[in-house]
Structure 1
Amino acid sequence: MTCRLYPGLRLFLLLPLLHTSEETCPPMCLCISDTVSCSSSGLSKLPLSIPTFSVTLDLSHNHFSWLGPGNFDRMPRLENLRMSHNQIVTLTHDVFRNASGLRHIDLSSNRLRVVEHHYFQGLWRLEELLLFNNKITQVEAGTLSGLSSLKKAYFSLNQITHFPFFSIQDHSHPFLTMLDLSSNRMARLPWEDVKALPRLVQRGLYLHNNSLICDCTMYSVFWHWDLRGYDTVKHFTAEHVCTISGEPQGSVQFMQYSRFFHNCTVEKVVSQPVTVLLSSVFAYEGESIHLDCQTSLNSTDLSFTWLSPSRGYITQVSSNGTLISLFPNGTLEIQATKVSDSGLYVCTAVDVKQELNATREVNVTVHLPTAEIFNTGYTTLLGCMVTTILILMYLYLTPCRCSCCKQPRPPAIPVAPYDPGALSSVFCSSSREQAMIQANKHVAFIEPMVGNGRPLDKVLIQELPVRCYSSVSAVNEKKNVMSLSRRPPPLHLKGIPTKKAISPFPFLALFSRTAR
């Protein structure tokens, strides 16, 4: 049995296959999720089969020389376009048609010469524009018009001589925080337009490495920026150079050697009606924070808009039913903060009647909750308590009296009875000497002590035999002598006054008498 398909039915069945082929990744590219990378592929024109759901498209390091109209029509979700290191000379009209969702465009390191006003028309969501390292000599007045979400614009490393500062105002670019014009060829700037820039733009305006002409107006502007502590001046002090008029070779690092401008009169800082207040808020995850939007606008009829790093724009309407609340006075409340809420929050206060606006920046940092650190005071108190308890235990607890804990007593040393002639063994080393001592016996008398001016009676000391012992006995006798200090004092004889005691060493008197 055969089945015949009508031609119309065949075409209907092939439509899904055609749609699938359009979504396939080009063979020279790498497709990962919503990112398509075709860098260093030798491309000179845009591939036709790029997936339409692409959010990031990388075409850097190729051979593109221009971009035609409607190149990105089929990519409405495109947000990041990287086309650096190509040979692009110009962009045609409507090149970014149907790509209004672009937030990041990188056209650095190309061959652009003039940035025309229609290049970025309609890109109201664009936040970063990178045009550095080109050959740009002119930036037309309307180039940045309509870029209300622009935050950073890089024009450094070009040949720009003039820039339309007057086109940047508070109401047109409320979020612009960086304008890099360094390393160009600007000699004279419209300093009045520069001083009229929003304070947030002045804080992020980079003008170093330009061939500026030295004059008092120029020095006054940079002097005020240095006084306010702007990073653009503080971080590039040595690169701020001006040229002395009439001397091409004479350049001065005017931020380091200000003595060349001692004749200049620097005006005092005048507070402008619109100011930007900078602050920082630190919190732990789960805490609630309040961010105020206090500006110099005193009007009561103000509308407030917050730009958050993770949630985008926040208004009173969009904050309903969420953990974020925007109060009528502009205060933003974030309940149960998370680490992802960290970043720079920018509040814009708009006075519709007076056509004025002001911005305020708040840098929020959310930390993870950490374990509570043990206080040093508690450690000291605990140490004192433990020491006190140990001392009390040492003083009042009864020592162990069991037999297992008792220490053995040291052996007792026998003490021989006292013998007055013990020390004589020290001087007698042989029996011959002992015989000589026995033959020569003497009677020793102690001279009476004089007391109260009259002599006392002589005391007769009994005749004492002197004995000699062997060397072993002499050692034992020496031990007995060492114990004499423990014995009680000798008794006194009858008839002898109490003031005179019998010497415990009578042989000393014997030798003393013999010597006389």
Structure 2
Amino acid sequence: MSWGCFILLLPSGATTSSKSVTCHKICLCASNIVSCSKMNLTGIPMTFPRYTAVLDLSFNQISKLKAEWTPVKLSMLHSLLLSHNGLTFLSSEAFLYVTRLRYLDLSSNGLKILEEFIFEPLEHLEVLLLYNNHISQIDRTAFSSLNSLQKLYLSQNQIQRFPLELVKERNRLEKLTLLDLSTNRLKLLPIQELQVLPAWIKNGLYFHNNPLPCSCELYSMLASWHRQELSSATDFRDDHTCLLPGTQKEKALTLELNKVHLNCSAVTILDEEAYLEQFIRLGCDTRQRYMLKSWVLPGNVQLSSGNQSSRVLSDGSLQVGPITLEDSGIYTCYAVGESFNETLYVTVLVHNATQAGGQEGMKTAYTTLVGCLASAMMVLIYLYLTPCRCICCPVQGLDKRAPGDSLHSSILSPPFNRHVAYLDPKGLLEQNGRLTKSLAHSAPLPQLSIGCKHNSSTGITDILLSFLYC
């Protein structure tokens, strides 16, 4: 760590008590910096000056950080270095007197468990280094109170569970921009949850060199991050490996899965689709959280305050609507940040229909299908389940010679068996088949005879024809 970045100013009137550490004998002191590194210390028996801003206790043999390691409150201390000590124990009250810490280095020690609310007093902490320990258990509340934390290094441990709550859930760390979980024992990633995170979070989410199983879902996520030029994917491209299926557990480059092994399909960025009269929201998902964003409409048209259909929202996204066909095209977002600038493009395809119209079409098709099925069921019930009783058949049996059961009647009636009304031709026809004059003018209406026949051998053709006739 470079000491040149700290301001070496001694507060006026500051003095050291007789119990304070003796500089130039036990430790090295440079104004408000106290360095006790590589002094073979097994404990912290001394009291440090109250004005201490930087305290370096690295490369010693301090195995326990107890609650009373500093009996006085070090309100000026903002950086504490305890790396390479073989630390195996952290008291739950170890940080009560150093609540103004912004930088805490506990790397390269022997820590195994991070208990609940262990860092609770450190509400101003910005950087926490815990890499190269033996951490396998982390309580879900261990980091919950670190509201100012920006960078958390947990690489080179034995962590098996991805701490999704740190970046997604309600109690996630709002200011966290870097989470390093590389070189652990992660065997599963919440891929769907990670995909929907903002780009500025994914840009600092490192999970390379873990025993993850190869899958096309993992490849698709990493490939899309690589296309967005996220640092977590591009900086460690060759370190993103996965284990191929099989007993050999052979490693393969995750970004090469589309060429060999699993033959995953290429990753493409889908365009935005919209319908007429719809409102859409176009995001400008940048790699840096706080950036000044501006939009240019299709046709290189600058977005003006008088534009009624497009406006920039408070988070930098663009709302367009109600959509018209003229809104199709490429929208450009220009983002300006402190360290770099970005340009993002979003292609919008507008369908020449309203979304409600498409739904009505689906409803009409569904209604038609249901109607057809209901009609078919009614036909089957009519053919097979209609009872034939004397009440509906006053004539018991039909004369085979009757015209109603003859070839002539079959021409006029459908080719399937059902209840049929027959005209009684007795006395109505002459020998030549014509009506007599007297009957043609004065005869009453002919009597109806109802016949009922069921034929169990009716085939599928009869059923279809019956459906057509009905």
Distance 1:225 1:50, change over 3 A: same
Distance 1:263 1:49, change over 3 A: closer
Supply the distance in 2 between the matched residues of 1:270 and 1:225 (Cα, whole angstroms).
17
**How far apart are residue 131 of structure 1 and its match?**
0.8
Q: Does 1:205 align with 2:181?
A: no
1:275–1:295: 8 Å Cα contact kept in structure 2? no
1:276–1:295: 8 Å Cα contact kept in structure 2? no
**How far apart are residue 330 of structure 1 and its match?**
12
2:154–2:182: 8 Å Cα contact kept in structure 1? yes
What root-mean-square deviation, in Å, do the aligned CA atoms of Structure 1 and Structure 2 show? 3.6
Give the secondary-structure state (helix, strand or coil) at the position aligned to 2:104. strand
Q: Structure 1, unaligned stretches of length 5 or more?
A: 1-15, 281-290, 297-328, 332-346, 350-359, 366-516
Quote the residue 1:456 is aligned against: none
Quote the residue 1:51 is aligned against: 49
Quote the residue 2:253 is aligned against: 253
Distance 1:94 1:218, change over 3 A: same
**How far apart are residue 245 of structure 1 and its match?**
2.5
Quote the residue 1:221 is aligned against: 221
Q: Partner letter of residue 53 of structure 2? A: V
Q: Partner letter of residue 21 of structure 1? A: S
Quote the residue 2:438 is aligned against: none
Q: Does 1:362 align with 2:337?
A: yes
Q: Deviation digits for residues 280-324 of structure 1, max 9, x if unmatched? A: 9xxxxxxxxxx965599xxxxxxxxxxxxxxxxxxxxxxxxxxxx
Instruction: Provide the TM-score with structure 2 as the length reference.
Output: 0.53
Quote the residue 1:114 is aligned against: 113
1:274–1:295: 8 Å Cα contact kept in structure 2? no
Supply the distance in 2 between the matched residues of 1:348 and 1:193 (Cα, whole angstroms).
22
Distance 1:94 1:274, change over 3 A: farther
**How far apart are residue 55 of structure 1 and its match?**
0.6
Q: Does 1:71 align with 2:72?
A: no
Give the secondary-structure state (helix, strand or coil) at the position aligned to 2:46. coil
Q: Deviation digits for residues 326-348 of structure 1, max 9, x if unmatched? A: xxx999xxxxxxxxxxxxxxx99
Supply the distance in 2 between the matched residues of 1:55 and 1:77 (Cα, whole angstroms).
5
1:70–1:96: 8 Å Cα contact kept in structure 2? no
1:242–1:252: 8 Å Cα contact kept in structure 2? yes
1:24-103 equivalences under 5 Å are: 25=22, 27-72=25-70, 73-103=72-102
Give the secondary-structure state (helix, strand or coil) at the position aligned to 2:123. coil
Quote the residue 1:134 is aligned against: 133
Q: Does 1:143 align with 2:142?
A: yes
**How far apart are residue 42 of structure 1 and its match?**
1.2
Give the secondary-structure state (helix, strand or coil) at the position aligned to 1:262. coil
Supply the distance in 1 between the matched residues of 2:249 and 2:153 (Cα, whole angstroms).
29
Q: Which moved more, 1:53-62 or 1:20-29?
A: 20-29
1:278–1:361: 8 Å Cα contact kept in structure 2? no
Supply the distance in 2 between the matched residues of 1:214 and 1:59 (Cα, whole angstroms).
42
Supply the distance in 1 between the matched residues of 2:65 and 2:336 (Cα, whole angstroms).
37
1:281-320 equivalences under 5 Å are: 293-294=292-293
Q: Does 1:236 align with 2:236?
A: yes
Quote the residue 2:184 is aligned against: 184
Give the secondary-structure state (helix, strand or coil) at the position aligned to 2:69. coil
Quote the residue 1:277 is aligned against: 286
1:392-411 equivalences under 5 Å are: none
Supply the distance in 2 between the matched residues of 1:278 and 1:231 (Cα, whole angstroms).
9
Supply the distance in 1 between the matched residues of 2:134 and 2:148 (Cα, whole angstroms).
26
**How far apart are residue 209 of structure 1 and its match?**
1.0
1:333-482 equivalences under 5 Å are: 362-363=337-338
2:199–2:287: 8 Å Cα contact kept in structure 1? no
Quote the residue 1:402 is aligned against: none
Supply the distance in 1 between the matched residues of 2:150 and 2:38 (Cα, whole angstroms).
29
Supply the distance in 1 between the matched residues of 2:192 and 2:287 (Cα, whole angstroms).
25
1:107–1:131: 8 Å Cα contact kept in structure 2? yes
1:103–1:127: 8 Å Cα contact kept in structure 2? yes
1:42–1:62: 8 Å Cα contact kept in structure 2? yes
Q: Structure 2, unaligned stretches of length 5 or more?
A: 1-12, 273-280, 296-311, 318-334, 341-470
2:125–2:148: 8 Å Cα contact kept in structure 1? yes
Q: Partner letter of residue 211 of structure 1? A: P
Quote the residue 1:344 is aligned against: none
Mark the structure with the bigger radius of gyration.
1
Q: Deviation digits for residues 396-448 of structure 1, max 9, x if unmatched? A: xxxxxxxxxxxxxxxxxxxxxxxxxxxxxxxxxxxxxxxxxxxxxxxxxxxxx
Q: Deviation digits for residues 444-465 of structure 1, max 9, x if unmatched? A: xxxxxxxxxxxxxxxxxxxxxx
Q: Partner letter of residue 31 of structure 1? A: C
Supply the distance in 2 between the matched residues of 1:198 and 1:237 (Cα, whole angstroms).
20
The share of aligned pairs that are identical, in percent, is 31
2:130–2:154: 8 Å Cα contact kept in structure 1? yes
Supply the distance in 2 between the matched residues of 1:295 and 1:167 (Cα, whole angstroms).
30
Supply the distance in 2 between the matched residues of 1:240 and 1:134 (Cα, whole angstroms).
22
Distance 1:279 1:240, change over 3 A: closer
Q: Partner letter of residue 18 of structure 2? A: S
Give the secondary-structure state (helix, strand or coil) at the position aligned to 1:188. coil
Quote the residue 2:18 is aligned against: 21
Q: Deviation digits for residues 170-220 of structure 1, max 9, x if unmatched? A: 874333221111111111122233234443221111111111101122122
Instruction: Provide the TM-score with structure 1 as the length reference.
Output: 0.49
How many residue pairs were aligned? 283
**How far apart are residue 60 of structure 1 and its match?**
0.4
Q: Partner letter of residue 44 of structure 1? A: T
Q: Deviation digits for residues 42-76 of structure 1, max 9, x if unmatched? A: 11211322111101000001111111124345212
Supply the distance in 2 between the matched residues of 1:187 and 1:110 (Cα, whole angstroms).
24
Distance 1:263 1:63, change over 3 A: closer
1:158–1:184: 8 Å Cα contact kept in structure 2? yes
Distance 1:156 1:24, change over 3 A: closer
Quote the residue 2:124 is aligned against: 125
Supply the distance in 1 between the matched residues of 2:263 and 2:153 (Cα, whole angstroms).
34
Supply the distance in 2 between the matched residues of 1:270 and 1:76 (Cα, whole angstroms).
54
Distance 1:90 1:202, change over 3 A: same
Supply the distance in 2 between the matched residues of 1:50 and 1:57 (Cα, whole angstroms).
9
Distance 1:92 1:267, change over 3 A: farther
Quote the residue 1:262 is aligned against: 263
1:151–1:175: 8 Å Cα contact kept in structure 2? yes
1:116–1:140: 8 Å Cα contact kept in structure 2? yes
Give the secondary-structure state (helix, strand or coil) at the position aligned to 1:184. coil
Give the secondary-structure state (helix, strand or coil) at the position aligned to 1:201. helix
Distance 1:244 1:139, change over 3 A: same
Give the secondary-structure state (helix, strand or coil) at the position aligned to 2:255. coil
